């Protein structure tokens, strides 16, 4: 299995850009949002995490199937 490191680096860069957008656009509201996340039960956070990963995997699968 050959790893395309350029693709891995591109994907990581895109993740960092997407993760940084809320902090840039909503810097004043982020502390409130983070406090709300901190007070959320771990089970709910895990469920949200699993749902986000499943959606990401589905998006990747569809993107690769269409290309």
- Residue 67, pLDDT above cutoff 80: no
Per the CB < 8 A criterion, the answer to whether 23 and 30 are in contact is: yes
* Digit-coded pLDDT (tens) for 55-64: 999 998 998 8
Residue spans of the domains in the chain: they are 5-66
- Residue 7, pLDDT above cutoff 80: yes
pLDDT on residue 47:
97
Interacting residues of 33 by C-beta distance below 8 A, sequence separation 6+: 22, 26
* Digit-coded pLDDT (tens) for 21-46: 999 999 999 999 999 999 999 999 99
pLDDT on residue 38:
96
């Amino acid at each position: 299995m050959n790893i395309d490191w350029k693709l891995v680096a591109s994907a990581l860069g895109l993740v960092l850009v997407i993760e940084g957008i809320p902090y840039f656009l909503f810097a004043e509201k982020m502390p409130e949002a983070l406090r709300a996340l901190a007070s959320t039960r771990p089970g709910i956070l895990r469920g949200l995490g699993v749902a986000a990963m499943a959606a990401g995997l589905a998006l990747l699968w569809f993107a690769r199937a269409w290309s």
